[in-house]
Amino acid sequence: MSEKKAYGALVARFNRMSALGGAGAMLGWDNAVMMPDGGADARAETMATLGVISHEMMTDPVVKGLFEEAEVEALSQHEAANLREMKRSYTHANALPADLVEAFSRATSECEMTWRGAREQDDFKALLPSLSKVFDLVREIASVKSEVLQLPIYDALLDEYEPDCRQSIIDPLFAELEDFLPNFLEEVLERQAAKGAYEKPEGPFDLEKQKTLGLKLMTDLGFDFNRGRLDTSHHPFTGGIPDDVRLTTRYEEDDFTQSLMGTLHETGHALYEQNLPKEWRGQPAGEARGMALHESQSLLVEMQLSRSEPFLEYLQPKLIKVFKRDGAAWEFDNLKKLYHHVERGLIRVDADEVTYPLHVILRYRLEAALLSGDLQVADLPGAWNDGMQQLLGVTPPSDRLGCLQDIHWPGGAVGYFPTYTLGAMAAAQIYKAAGDAIPERDEQVAAGEFAPLITWLRQNIHEKGSLYSAEEILTQATGSGFGTASFIEHLKSRYLPE
């Protein structure tokens, strides 16, 4: 083939596969948001078929030859990066036979539907057969990928969510946090008690008003509703495609903070997706660079930004206007106590910044043990409860508030959880760097002027796509790769200020 012909053929193929993936993403969104339960079997069949077609396109023998020819073509730096990411996807896909891909797609679709009912009914036994099947397939996938990638089985799965990340990188970072957090948590709880409890704003809070407030904040932060929408689901998530981002939240009538923070968290994800490089749409180089950076953007918005004092100055009058309330509970100092409240909670998605990493460390340990076979799925509830007591000092009174709370394992996402805390660490680094670059950031935030911050994030994180590694993107933006120092300093300055 002549100059760049092979590369061009790969680009065309990946564009088609991206379109199939986008269709699957929309069907997945519909599955979670509005599909009737009776459609589950047909939807599982459709999702499995899309997965098989895409897999067949990726594993077509012609692709190997295209890679061999493209590697000697005269490619630009960014084209070479795109080819590198194509090969990464190709290697992962070719590790698995088509029948295993299809079986996994069917099993996870069915398990997710079963999980919804099991969670609602607090019935782990109802989930056990389908979850056991999913983990059997996950172990098979991990074993196959481990051999192909020449990686330990957990790293073989982790690499799909966070390319080039390894347990050898995670373990020391998590050890540093585990050394720091328990004593720090005790100190925070003592100081918090000395200051006195916050006064909880009394509900009920109309669900439509909660949604109206969420939509207003999303708009102010720069979410483009011409290319996306907000809905409700059992578990908040962001899906769709960059030019049609679908995010969801969930509402509680007696607590507006849950939906608000869930909406803001997902908005961070959604802004990342909407601001990915347009010139690389449909190509691996145009995708988000792993889930750690993705989580850094959601946690930056939810934790770093939205719980900051400047943001609360912006938010307070809007809360009063939307819910038409006043009194001590709605005063700034009380709202600050509310949004900076730390407790040994049961639910990860509702956890504060201090305890959140401990929730993640627990899940990381459990999924690694489930993958290796050291822990059986049937024993998960007991192991979960023991871990919660050890790390957080609380024991869930039910599986609904324990091991049934997350959708990740029913969906087959093993190797994903560590990226949440890697993301929290990166969020602290990135937010600090943004503040250094924009000295007036806090004044702008208090005034509801978010464009300078979002523009900085777009230029330094979002638009980089996967043209560079996560470590390179983070280093370019902040001066260093993944580390705990900025995160620990942030926690100290917010929760134990001198």
Instruction: Choose the catalytic residue: 266, 273, 302, 313.
Output: 266
- 193 with 342: CB under 8 angstroms? no
Residues 427, 419: Cα–Cα separation, whole Å: 12
- At 244, which helix (H) or strand (E)? strand 244-249
Contacts 24+ apart (CB under 8 A), 447-455: 447/314, 448/220, 448/314, 450/220, 450/221, 450/222, 451/222, 453/305, 454/221, 454/222, 454/271, 454/275
pLDDT tens sequence for the chain (498 residues): 458 999 999 999 999 999 999 999 999 999 999 999 899 889 989 998 998 899 899 999 999 999 999 999 999 999 999 999 999 999 988 898 889 988 998 999 899 999 999 999 999 999 999 999 999 999 999 999 999 999 999 999 999 999 999 999 999 999 999 999 999 999 999 999 999 999 999 999 999 999 999 999 999 999 999 999 999 998 789 999 999 999 999 999 999 998 999 999 999 999 999 999 999 999 999 999 999 999 999 999 999 999 999 999 999 999 999 999 999 999 999 999 999 999 999 999 889 999 999 999 999 999 999 999 999 999 999 999 999 999 999 999 999 999 999 999 999 999 999 999 999 999 999 999 999 999 999 999 999 999 999 999 999 999 999 999 999 999 999 999 999 999 999 999 999 998
Q: DSSP 3-state assignment of 360?
A: helix
Residue ranges, CATH 1.10.1370.30, the chain: 168-495
| Whole-number Cα distances in Å, 263 to 32, 171, 449, 469 | 16, 31, 19, 28
Fold category of 168-495 in CATH: Neurolysin; domain 3 (1.10.1370)
Question: What's the token pair of residue 192?
Answer: 């918090």
d(CA 310, CA 291): 28
- Active-site annotation holds for 266: yes
Using alpha carbons, select from 484, 494, 495, 496 the residue that is nearest to residue 180.
Answer: 484
Angle at which helices 380-392 and 356-372 cross, to 10°: 150
Are 441 and 450 within 8 A, CB to CB?
no
The dihedral through the CA atoms of 271, 272, 274, 276 has a sign that is positive
Buried b (16+ CB within 10 A) or exposed e, 348-381: bbbbbbbbbbbbbbbbbbbbbbbbeeebebeebb
| C-alpha span between 195 and 172 (Å, rounded) | 35
